[in-house]
Amino acid sequence: MMSSILDVFCTWNREVISVSGENSLYLLMEWRSGPPAKRQSKLMPKLLYRDVELLLKPEDGVVIKAVHGARAKETDAGWVLQMGSAYKGKTKTLLLELAVSSQSAGKKSVCSAYWSAFKTKQEQRVLLRREQIYLHISAHLGLMNKQPDPRVQKHVKLSETTGIMKQALRAFERGRTEEGCEIIKRHTDELLIMAVRSGDLEYYREAQILIQLGEYYQMTYEKLNDEHSDTVRESSGTYYLEEDEEDFMEKQAK
């Protein structure tokens, strides 16, 4: 590992997985440059690096299934993630979903990570940090029965919102307003239950945002559907009027 120009903290949703593998494993990566700010400031934090890029090279038997929190592209060199800019003391998060095939027990390397960026006022990309990310694999069932990390689980749950909203929007766009509302309601109910169980207000805030979005989409698409229905009725009326006029002209000709 290089000197900590960039601080990166990795947390698995499960500290230990079975030797038989895991089809859905989550890794939360939190990163920042410089110590975290001690207090909130109205001033914009200092820009330290531009266009931070993370190259991930999974080991054999490891597959990256999804990336949440960054634009990602799979290349011959590995997965390239565009992480945005790094500001002094500002922490950003990234959530990875991986699948790990069966492995022998022990501490195993999951992937190599290479962080690079442009320094301010420079046009040459520099390597900020490189490291191996490890995972513990065991045949001991007792080690695997531990509860998933609550912070990682929270990011997993919140990451579902984007897909949920896409499903709801498709329903609204097809005129299925009730279905769209029900999709959003199910997810907000789950978030509110998690808020009560964990005492974490971030679940509650996310649920409130979704409730407001659901009401907005419902009102918007109901209005669009009503306007569409009015247009169809007007068009139908015009069509029949023209048809009646043609009949009248034929009768007059006779």
Task: Write down the pLDDT at residue 28.
Answer: 98
Residues of the chain with pLDDT under 50: 1-3, 232-233, 235-254
φ, ψ dihedrals at 183, nearest 5°: -60, -45
Strand partners, 63: 99
Pairing mode, strands 62-68 and 92-100: antiparallel
φ, ψ dihedrals at 20, nearest 5°: -75, -10
Pairing mode, strands 125-138 and 16-18: parallel
Task: Write down the pLDDT at residue 230.
Answer: 52
Task: Write down the pLDDT at residue 245.
Answer: 41
| Helices and strands (H and E) in the chain: how many | 4, 10
Task: Write down the pLDDT at residue 226.
Answer: 65
Rounded CA separation 187/251 (Å): 63
Domains of the chain plus CATH, in order, are 7-144 (2.60.40.3670), 150-239 (1.20.58)
Task: Write down the pLDDT at residue 34.
Answer: 83
Task: Write down the pLDDT at residue 31.
Answer: 96
Task: Write down the pLDDT at residue 202.
Answer: 95
Task: Write down the pLDDT at residue 41.
Answer: 67
